[in-house]
Chain A
Amino acid sequence: MSAGFPAAARAALGDAQLRRNLGKATTTIRTKRANVVAELPDWEALRDAGEAIKARAMATLPEQLERLEASVARAGGQVHWARDAAEANATVAAIAGGHGAREVIKVKSIATDEIELNRALEAQGITAIETDLAELINQLAHDTSSHILVPAIHRNRAEIKGLFERTIARGQDLGWEATAIAEAARRHLREKFLSVPVAVSGANFGVAETGTVVVVESEGNGRMCTTLPEVLISVMGIEKVLPEWRDLEVFLQLLPRSSTGERMNPYTSLWTGVRGGDGPKEFHLVLLDNGRTDVLADEVGRQALHCIRCSACLNVCPVYSRTGGHAYESVYPGPIGAILTPQLRGLDQAPTLPWASSLCGACYEVCPVKIDIPSVLIHLRGRVVREQKSKLSPEALTMQAVGRAFSSQKGYERAQKLAQAGRGPLARRAPGLKGWTEMRDLPDVPRETFRQWWRDRPRGPSPGGATPHTPEGRGT
């Protein structure tokens, strides 16, 4: 296991170019989102509806999944159940291999990143080709995603131009126009769309009532993948199921405004099984658990499964917008990642993530399905303390000592006296004080506490007769 978020964040913060790229990108999306959300008078009602639909879907998950399975089968698709990453990968590899595929084209999908599908396919001699522009950039750079929606948000134009000129447009000078740089990717991908027989996608939503799978994207490359190849395989986290067709009305309003700051999503693909003479001849839906039912068992934490991957919480997060996504060491970065990753992987695999937040609450404020991320973070901190940490750690002992002291007036006042003398649990309460004093001064502990002043103050003719207050500014 790595040293966790603080160390990874420290490394990221040292990269000045990364901070510039991120600051610029997150500020732009944040502003766009705020503007289009402000246009809707019923935004709060939409959020309530989104929350309610997701809560219902999760409360009836087994039933909804069975309905989905039946609907997909009725429409001519095949449903596969995958307990974990290994099962999902094996299923996809077997289907692709069964059609003799040496290559598959991919729609941007975080679920397939989560299970490291590309690596698993490579081991079977099958090359996965990312068709989302940002995913392609990461693939060519042997890099990983740093943002849910904009996986290459950490890269600027110059870096991407250089990368393409070294790879898919070798020997060419693409110039500095964004369209010209994107054109290189377009030429590279068009050939693949027309020749590769198998495509793999994720799913934004799967409708139990109809068996319809929905992919929401901005480039149109996803649509190429879902329509041109002979075989389409969709890997869908089981939490993406929506009970009814009409539920889409809510989410297709919430998602684009929250994610890209657009009123309507540019390319929304919906397909239901297979149709003769139109689109793929075979459709496979792989339903992925991979830790999700464990999350469902946690009453407080389960709301993390409501996430629709809009990434609004990343863009407003003061932590994410400075560290970027790689510091979270997961395909799910930012505030939502800080609550999802430890639950999906197990707390012991990501014990520092619940602390990767100042609890400022900006994430909760923008979440389109009202996931109370700060409360879940606090809940998970409690679980880490209870399930992972030693009761004898310096922090636990300090917390116990302070808790004990503060449970009586006498103990509290004794602790205050010790603090004034620079000792005791209040002064000691600092296993990490160095982190504070490296960059900030600590306040001096005043000689007189408030309560001492209160006791000693002359009981004057109050109310209304107080002496004028003289300001005692601090920090000069």
Chain B
Amino acid sequence: MRVALFVTCFNDTLFPQTGRAVVELLERLGCEVDFPEGQTCCGQMHGNSGYQRDGEALARRFQRVFAEYETVVSPSASCVAYLREQGAGEGVYELTEFICDVLGTDDVGATFPHRVTMHPTCHSLRLLRVGDRPRRLLERVRGIDLVDLPDARECCGFGGTFAVKNADVSMAMLTDKLRHILDTRAEVCTAADNSCLMHIGGALRRQRAGVRVMHLAEILATT
């Protein structure tokens, strides 16, 4: 099956290892992955910050760049949600949707012998309604010790520009999220979106907490 990867500007620039993991994972699952190099950004940052016209223009640009592909896969729930809101999301799947619904499997043949907890992300839950797909995929990973995150559905406090415009409230939210993560005694906190993880991981690193953050795709790609 031929799929196009929409890696997102954020991952392309800051978290290339997530894009590499998606490629390796999808190829292992038998997909032929293409990366249209004309791709840039979905427009979400502009759209959610009050610059709707710029956001819409970028979403239209996304459509043009990916026009020839029937199936597009992206490792970002919030970018996919934005594209759908803009009417540019036809054939675009968030990674866990694609694996569970299109490829029809929960077992990607990964092995990851570590204690892991998952932050489900607001946009995965409430905009895409991915439900338990990420969890189902993680449960089938060999050797994983998956522990529930208390109050998992509560926002981590990232929220794009919210994290800087309302930095104090953002940190108050993050502080509670970190406490819950540390309570699980997990080695790794994972999520289906690197934006939440940049925020969570940035604080874990500052606190030298010894807990890593990893995008879900990176766990699923590990054999």
Q: Judging by beta carbons under 8 Å apart, are A475 and B169 in contact?
A: no
Chain A nearest CB from B209 CB (Å) reads: 8
Q: Is the interface of B mostly helix, strand, loop or mixed?
A: helix
Instruction: Choose, from A171-179, A200-208, A212-220, A462-470, the stretch at the interface.
Output: A462-470
A469-B32 CB under 8 A given contacts A322-B172, A475-B211:
no
Instruction: Choose, from A125-133, A134-142, A357-365, the stretch at the interface.
Output: A357-365
Report if B24 contacts A (CB, 8 A).
yes
Partner of A355, one of B7, B33, B161, B198: B161
Partner of A474, one of B25, B201, B223: B201
- Chain A residues within 8 Å of B202, by CB: 436, 440-443, 475
Report if A13 contacts B (CB, 8 A).
yes
Who on chain A is nearest to B214 by CB?
A473
Instruction: Choose, from A150-158, A234-242, A378-386, the stretch at the interface.
Output: A378-386
Instruction: Choose, from A86-94, A159-167, A401-409, the stretch at the interface.
Output: A401-409
Distance, CA A386 to CA B46, complexed state (A): 13
Distance, CA A87 to CA B32, complexed state (A): 70
**Chain B residues with a Cβ closer than 8 Å to the other chain, count:** 88
A412-B40 CB under 8 A given contacts A382-B52, A450-B11, A453-B20:
yes
Partner of A409, one of B40, B206, B213: B40
- Chain A residues within 8 Å of B221, by CB: 469, 471
Chain A interface residue count: which class?
35 or more
Partner of B46, one of A359, A403, A449: A403
- Chain A residues within 8 Å of B27, by CB: 462-466
Chain B nearest CB from A422 CB (Å) reads: 13
Interface string of A411-443 (1 = CB under 8 A from B): 010001001000000100011110110111111
Chain B nearest CB from A105 CB (Å) reads: 38
Distance, CA A359 to CA B48, complexed state (A): 9
Report if A318 contacts B (CB, 8 A).
yes
Instruction: Choose, from A3-11, A38-46, A115-123, the stretch at the interface.
Output: A3-11
Distance, CA A430 to CA B163, complexed state (A): 11
Partner of B157, one of A318, A463, A475: A318
- Chain A residues within 8 Å of B155, by CB: 318, 358, 360, 362
Who on chain A is nearest to B8 by CB?
A450
Chain A nearest CB from B59 CB (Å) reads: 11
Distance, CA A448 to CA B12, complexed state (A): 9
Most chain A CB within 10 A, of B35, B157, B165, B173, is at: B165
Report if B19 contacts A (CB, 8 A).
yes
Chain B nearest CB from A232 CB (Å) reads: 42
Interface string of B1-29 (1 = CB under 8 A from A): 00000010101111111111101110110
Report if A168 contacts B (CB, 8 A).
no
Q: Judging by beta carbons under 8 Å apart, are A356 and B40 in contact?
A: no
Report if A270 contacts B (CB, 8 A).
no
- Chain A residues within 8 Å of B125, by CB: 361
Report if A319 contacts B (CB, 8 A).
yes
- Chain A residues within 8 Å of B206, by CB: 439-441
Instruction: List 29 A-B residue pairs with CB atoms under 8 Å apart, sorted by A's residue number.
Output: A6-B166, A13-B169, A323-B169, A356-B166, A357-B162, A382-B51, A383-B50, A399-B54, A406-B41, A412-B41, A416-B12, A436-B167, A440-B174, A441-B202, A441-B203, A442-B202, A446-B15, A448-B16, A451-B7, A454-B19, A463-B30, A466-B23, A469-B218, A470-B222, A471-B214, A473-B188, A475-B201, A475-B213, A476-B210
Binding site for B on A (CB under 8 A): 5-6, 9-10, 13, 19, 318-319, 322-323, 354-362, 364-365, 378, 381-386, 389, 395-396, 399-400, 402-403, 406-409, 412, 416, 419, 426, 430-433, 435-436, 438-443, 445-446, 448-455, 462-476
Binding site for A on B (CB under 8 A): 7, 9, 11-21, 23-25, 27-28, 30-33, 35, 37-41, 45-52, 54, 57-58, 61, 112, 122-123, 125-127, 153-155, 157-174, 188, 197-206, 210-214, 218-219, 221-223
Query: Which 8 pairs across A and B sit closest by C-beta, in order of nearness?
Result: A358-B159, A435-B167, A440-B202, A473-B212, A432-B164, A385-B50, A381-B50, A360-B155
